[in-house]
Structure 1
Amino acid sequence: MQNIRSVKDKLPDEPFSGQNGMQFEGEDDDSSADSQLGRATERLRHLVLTGTFPLDEKLAEARVAELLAVSRTPARLAMAALERDGLLVRLPRRGFRVRSISLAEVVEAIEVRGELEAVAARAIVERGLSDASRAALRDAVAWGDTILAGGAFDAERRRAWCALNDDFHHALVAACGMRPLVAAYHQVNLVPMAAPRDTIFNVAEPNLLLRQLTVAQDDHRRIVSALEAGQAMRAAGLIREHAYRSGENKRRNFPHVDMRTMVMETPGIALVR
């Protein structure tokens, strides 16, 4: 199986790079003044997404600071950052609580993501698909074929699929060259379970699981074919259908997941109710 970085390593550098395209050329990715806060925020994000804190209950500032190994000020700032990302809710005069997410909200966020990707597809056709982006998308499709041909979807193969799906959609959006769209795309992917990597695997029904992933892989292949053929409307339509199926698969699979396993494999599912 290919290394999980194989596709993203081939993404074009212009006009943006980094996870979800949020680091632009010429921008410092490690400001010393913000490094402690950045680390604290990402650590707190991980704790929230993996269900460390009870849903809809107040976060004790002292406990958060202890877990993050920081003082109360950066802990408070980290909580404020996660409020802006929609993971925490500010309580009147008494701190924050972890926000639960409805499955309907997850599906809505996936639909919004699909619309952004559809706009990206039209821009790709108008501006032209670069050789680097073409290679990244083709590599993602080829990697998907390898994963699907590999047999049962054990934990390693599930992780590989999540990485592959993230790579494909990342490459698609990166190819459009639209900085505002990339920023909006990053924001919608902050909704728990809405990002392409956040696949819900119904391992209790392996035949259904294989059918769902096979259809998703066929979608990827047809989207790339439409982009290469310069068929903007067809590509946009395929992307919308793909997003719709992704949301419906989450509705279908969510009641049947092993939550203990999925919390570790797919951070964010612990917040969905």
Structure 2
Amino acid sequence: MDTLSQQVTETLRTWILHGRLTPGTRVEEVPIAETLKVSRTPVRAALAALAMEGLIDHQPKKGYLVRAFALEDILAAYEVRSVLEGLACRRFAALGVDDATAALLRDCLRTGDEILAKGQLLLDDLAPYQQMNVTLHNALMQGARNPWVVRFGAQAQAVPFASDRIMLWHDHGVILRSHDDHHRIVQAVIDGDAARAEQLMREHVYYAGILLRDNYQRVLDERAGSAVAQDPPLALSNGA
């Protein structure tokens, strides 16, 4: 896939994960191409890629529709994430952490600490914290030095509400607990404590799934309110 197609794929994936394209929405080449100011060729490639990921479904005479995920599907993705990311941390700890990656991980921790030291999560802090979280988790996954762990981990991430690309919680206490996990995970990996690193990461992701399970309806209601408040990104229609 060329760079432009990758950019279109990333944009559409982000829209789906963040709820700008809601389940059941029909996504078509022409309006997407017009909105993104690209030709239909990269859009066609992007839609095919997202269908392979399972984020959209192709239906006869309806084209592509944004897939709806049941809560059971989302929790199953969290289960897979916990196993794969735990495995990644175990391998990384056993293989050893190079100085550059150790510095990157510590920088991520400092960034999170500075944001959370304010005692509240400001609106302007959400994007930087989210980017820090993605960078940290990606570095730990890459540290496994196993392309299959990275590949299957990315597939589990491509499920709405199960991805570390989005922040479901704006509660300072919830995020603080999660970032405390980051500190313990990174320290175990750097110390070479493979068993502890794996267990900590598995619990970290597992708890995120439990939190979603217990607050799923509230998350749906908040996302629906956000979708109503924002301008529609495309001239798309519901799939019915």
Give me the TM-score of the superposition, normalised by structure 1. Answer: 0.71
Cross-structure match for 2:24: 56
| CA-to-aligned-CA distance 1:85-130 (integer Å, 9 cap, x gap) | 2121111354221111223322221221221111112211221111
Quick check: 236-245 or 160-169, which moved more? 160-169
Give the aligned residue type for 1:241: E
Give the aligned residue type for 2:192: G
Q: Select 1:229's aligned residue among 169, 172, 191.
A: 191
Q: 1:171-210, aligned counterparts within 5 Å?
A: 171-202=139-170, 209-210=171-172
The 1:224–1:110 alpha-carbon spacing in structure 2 relative to 1, beyond 3 Å, is same
Provide the rounded CA distance (Å) in 2 between the counterparts of 1:52 and 1:84.
20
The 1:43–1:133 alpha-carbon spacing in structure 2 relative to 1, beyond 3 Å, is closer
Q: 1:1-273, aligned counterparts within 5 Å?
A: 34-49=2-17, 51=19, 53=21, 55-70=23-38, 72=40, 74-202=42-170, 209-257=171-219, 258-259=222-223, 260-261=225-226
Give the aligned residue type for 1:214: L
| CA-to-aligned-CA distance 1:212-271 (integer Å, 9 cap, x gap) | 22221221111122223322111111111101111122233443343244897xxxxxxx
Give the aligned residue type for 1:140: C
The 1:130–1:51 alpha-carbon spacing in structure 2 relative to 1, beyond 3 Å, is closer
RMSD: 2.7
Give me the TM-score of the superposition, normalised by structure 2. Answer: 0.80
Does the CA contact (< 8 Å) of 1:109 and 1:191 recur in 2? yes
**More helix, by proportion:** 2
The 1:122–1:247 alpha-carbon spacing in structure 2 relative to 1, beyond 3 Å, is same
| CA-to-aligned-CA distance 1:60-102 (integer Å, 9 cap, x gap) | 5544444344555554433222211212111135422111122
Does the CA contact (< 8 Å) of 1:44 and 1:68 recur in 2? no
Provide the rounded CA distance (Å) in 1 between the counterparts of 2:202 and 2:83.
6
Does the CA contact (< 8 Å) of 1:85 and 1:190 recur in 2? yes
Q: CA shift at 1:132, angstroms?
A: 1.4
Provide the rounded CA distance (Å) in 2 between the counterparts of 1:222 and 1:47.
32
Provide the rounded CA distance (Å) in 1 between the counterparts of 2:3 and 2:139.
28
Give the aligned residue type for 1:235: A
Q: Name structure 2 gaps, 5 residues minimum.
A: 231-240
Quick check: 250-259 or 89-98, which moved more? 250-259
Does the CA contact (< 8 Å) of 2:89 and 2:198 recur in 1? yes
Quick check: 71-80 or 154-163, which moved more? 71-80
Provide the rounded CA distance (Å) in 2 between the counterparts of 1:71 and 1:80.
15
Quick check: 247-256 or 53-62, which moved more? 53-62
Number of residue-to-residue matches in the alignment: 226
Q: CA shift at 1:38, angstroms?
A: 3.6
Cross-structure match for 2:236: none
Q: Secondary structure of the equivalent of 2:65? A: strand
Provide the rounded CA distance (Å) in 2 between the counterparts of 1:52 and 1:160.
20
Does the CA contact (< 8 Å) of 1:43 and 1:68 recur in 2? no
Provide the rounded CA distance (Å) in 2 between the counterparts of 1:211 and 1:256.
17
Q: Secondary structure of the equivalent of 2:211? A: helix
Identity %: 35
Does the CA contact (< 8 Å) of 1:212 and 1:249 recur in 2? no
